[in-house]
Each structure stands twice: as structure tokens, then as C-alpha cells.
Amino acid sequence: MIIKRKRDAEELLSNFDHVADYDKAGNKHYIVFEDFVRNGHCTIMKYDDTSFSIHGKGDSYCDENEQFISKDELASFLWKHRKAVNHLLKSVQKESVS
């Protein structure tokens, strides 16, 4: 899956559990991708109750807390950061083929 249209970002969220890693201790699925805007990394998390959050961290910054975000807001966020997200998705596809 690659994000080419906004609808693709929405589809990614619907299939998030299949793409993301799972953190048993935190009871959440997550993906981490490079944040080219803030020069760091962004983590998107989906909890078992289906709520989503984002958190960013870089050499010169670290978000104080996770920011809980609606699915619609997150789809827009993914669209805005699709270059970095697509880079991650392509690497996940390569790993699953290998």
C-alpha cells in the first residue's frame, strides 16, 4: 500500500493493525517514520480501544506528551507526511516479500 490519494491514507488507518508493529506492554499498534518537517521521527499509535495518538521526537525536540487525534485529523496528517510514510510502507513491503 502506498499513499497516492487522500483515500489511501484513510485506507491505511483502516488496515493499520496489518501494517504496524505491536507493543504488548502498551497494548498498542504503532509505526515510526522520519519527520522531514521537524527533522526527527514521528510515532503513530493505535490503542486496543481504537483511539489514535501521535508523538514526535528529534535531536532538538521531544513532544511532551502523546497527542490524541481523530481518525479524520490523522488521515490529513498522513497525507501531509505521505513522502515519509510511503518510504516506510515500501520498506515494510520489501521485508514481507523477502
- What residues contact 39, with CB distance under 8 A and at least 6 apart? 58, 59, 60
Query: Which domain, by its residues, includes 61?
Result: 6-90
Assess if residue 15 is contained within a domain: yes
pLDDT in tens, 61-97: 999 999 999 999 999 999 999 999 999 998 877 666 5
Assess if residue 44 is contained within a domain: yes
Distance between CA atoms of residues 69 and 30, nearest Å: 14
pLDDT in tens, 17-54: 988 999 999 999 999 999 988 899 999 999 998 999 99
Look at the chain and report how many structural domains it folds into: 1
Assess if residue 96 is contained within a domain: no
Assess if residue 65 is contained within a domain: yes
Assess if residue 55 is contained within a domain: yes
Quick one: which of 51, 10, 57 has its CA closest to 28?
Answer: 51
Distance between CA atoms of residues 62 and 83, nearest Å: 22
Assess if residue 73 is contained within a domain: yes
Assess if residue 97 is contained within a domain: no
Assess if residue 86 is contained within a domain: yes
